[in-house]
Amino acid sequence: MESEENWADRSEPPGDTRALSQEAEEEGDSESMEVSEPTHHLLTLVCTRSMSNDQRRETQKRYKLPRVPATKTPRLDAFMKAEAPQNPKSLDGELAHRQTLVMDTAAPLTSLIKERIQEGENEGNTPEAQQLADAITASLALIGNAHSHISQQRREKVITSINKSLLPLLKDDVDFATAVPFLFGTDFAKRSKDYTSNVSP
């Protein structure tokens, strides 16, 4: 599927990946799309009410995330847990839980991608089907973007609690592209030690 390959292409620099300010986000509201009354009602309902745990479990039973490590919430490794000045769960648990909730949304979309690929193989691509595939792929890319930003926030929070001088090591997302299933990866202890040695007078 062409759109899927485009989103996954990392050969070009990603550009500025910093989170936009609230003001910049609000400026984009003028470009919002008008929707029908039923859609408006649905979006208002789902965006203003939390799911019960039972509802979430039922949805998770129906739509399951693929077996792709990058879609799972990364966890702190033993080294980072030991270095944390407070209980890791109280330090990192809230953001980690939010990250899991964000990635829940990828499961239904992934199931649609699978169905779309199967339909394309059976019936061939149509403009409508390709448009749907593009929308699903874009949705997954935006979910992945949120997932990545939460990982950044978690790293910053943990490192700030341990040693603020190590924050420059978090500057580039690319350094953590292979960190899964951990938040920092298995080589961060060595990287932090090397960095500290190099910047010490």
CA distance 149 to 19: 7
pLDDT in the model for residue 133: 82
- Residue of 28, 150, 172 whose CA lies nearest to 101: 150
Q: Structure tokens of 94?
A: 């809230």
pLDDT in tens, 46-60: 889 899 999 999 999
CA distance 155 to 157: 5
CA distance 196 to 149: 25
CA distance 48 to 200: 50
CA distance 201 to 62: 57
pLDDT at 8 over 50: no
Which residues touch 41 (CB under 8 Å, ≥6 apart)? none
Q: How confident is the model at residue 119 (pLDDT cuts 50, 70, 90)?
A: low
Of 192 and 8, the structure prediction assigns the larger pLDDT to 192
The answer to whether the beta carbons of residues 36 and 192 sit under 8 Å apart is: no
The structure's pTM equals 0.78
